[in-house]
Amino acid sequence: MNGVWTITRKDLVLLVRDKRALVLLVLLPLLFIAVIGMSTGQFLTRDERPRQLRVAVVDLDRSELSQRAVRNLRAHADLAVESFDSQEAAELALRQGVVSALVVLGPHMEERVDELSMRDLLGGDAGGLAQGGDAADVQLEVKSDFADGKLLEYFLVGELYRTVFPVVARRNALFRPYLPPEDGEEDAADAVSNGSDLASNAGAAAQASNPVYRFLVPGFTVMFVFFLINIMARSFIAERDAGTLRRLHLAPIAPVAILLGKTLPFYLTSVLQTALLFLCGRWLFHMPWGSEPVYLVPVILCTSAAATALGLLLATLVRTDQQVSSYGTSIVLVLGGLSGCFIPRAWLPELMKTISLGTPHAWALQAFDAVLTSQQVDSIRVMDCCAVLLGFAAAFFAAGWWRFRAATV
């Protein structure tokens, strides 16, 4: 064991002196996370709410009913409602992608709503509002290339129903007793308007724990943890060229002890790197650590074990620095993209999800997801993922040990 600790101390000193490695392992992933966070409006642009949809509204009716419809839309924290004086300007904003949807409250909205009956609201496909808001002189248009366009359109139709229903139902003797007094309806509308402040506060609360970073921090952390394999392989090549590995091989030290001594400093570096990234995620990006942060510890330890063992295997396979640059970087990027480090795993096709289970990255991401996004952590799922990661680590280490023994140093 003395030989193991001697090798470990020596390599730790070399790692601390290697400023380029420290930049690659800590500062570069933070830069990636910050830049992508800025692109989503979640870092340095804190005035924007996450995933806020911009909706253009043109009120040509200027009636109490149309103003109430606008207030109802503004009450939603996830909508940024922008009022336009002319329909032409709003349509231009939609075409240019400034807004995702357009709502035009026509000049005859209140008159058309007064002509509606309960059959128009409750008649299903035969109702007057079955095909949208034309019967109420309301035009709805969603940008054609917007991914969730249909969902947004259905939501806007629902908001139209919410505004129109009390007005139409009040004229029906069957429904009238179940509605608040007419002056109370205005109070209710005011309550909705005041509720927008509460919604804004809720949005601000959500801003304090940006959900975007629940994916960004673990995803890029896992990817850059595996970037350690490049640094580890270069360390082996440098010592091989300097003759250090040959001298260690001739010394009365078992090959396993040599590999443990060479691997342990990188393992400790990987654990420290991951811990620092999560601390920075909490401090800089207000990323929550889940309901039971203690489960992050085994996930971090097992992920680092798999990464350093893969680095050991790569170090025994490559012979030159050029091979490290080509093979190592390709492995990191391909496995990272395949497993879901760049985009949420939920967005991956089912086939790719299945294939990615052959990578340690995928199991690490699943474990982090189980800890960070669940109200109650599924400990069995976390431990299963950790067990698979340890299995990868054992397989990589065994293969690296076999290659180390077989190779001519």
How many Å apart are CA 289 and CA 373, to the nearest integer?
9
Instruction: Name the token pair of 128.
Output: 């007057």
For the beta carbon of residue 101, count every other beta carbon within 10 angstroms: 21
| Residue 336 pLDDT > 80 | yes
> Which residues are paired to 79 by β-bridges?
53
- Among 21-30, 191-200, 262-271, the range scoring the smallest mean pLDDT is 191-200
- Among 62-71, 157-166, 185-194, the range scoring the smallest mean pLDDT is 185-194
Domains, the chain, in order of start with CATH, read 2-44+210-406 (no CATH), 53-208 (3.40.190)
Q: What is the mean pLDDT of the chain?
A: 80
Q: Reduce the DSSP state of residue 79 to 3 states and report it.
A: strand
- 242-264 mean pLDDT: 75
pLDDT in tens, 272-290: 888 888 888 788 777 788 8
How many Å apart are CA 273 and CA 221, to the nearest integer?
9
DSSP category for residue 131: T
- Dihedral of the CA atoms 335, 339, 340, 346 (nearest 10)? 170
Q: Cα 315 to the chain's mean position, in Å?
A: 32
Task: Provide the pairing of β-strand 138-142 with 101-105.
Answer: antiparallel
* pLDDT band of 207, cuts 50, 70, 90: very low
pLDDT for res 21:
66
| Residue 198 pLDDT > 50 | no
pLDDT for res 324:
85
For the beta carbon of residue 126, count every other beta carbon within 10 angstroms: 9
- 100-125 mean pLDDT: 85
Looking at mean pLDDT, say which of 16-25, 165-174, 211-220, 355-364 comes out highest: 355-364
CB within 8 Å of 316: residues ≥ 6 apart: 236, 400, 403, 404, 407
How many Å apart are CA 398 and CA 379, to the nearest integer?
28
* pLDDT band of 105, cuts 50, 70, 90: very high
| Residue 210 pLDDT > 50 | yes
Higher pLDDT among residues 196 and 298, named by residue: 298
* Among 35, 366, 350, residue whose Cα is nearest residue 215: 366
How many Å apart are CA 408 and CA 244, to the nearest integer?
13
- 153-161 mean pLDDT: 83
Distances (CA, A) of 114 to 108, 117, 233, 406: 10, 8, 76, 88
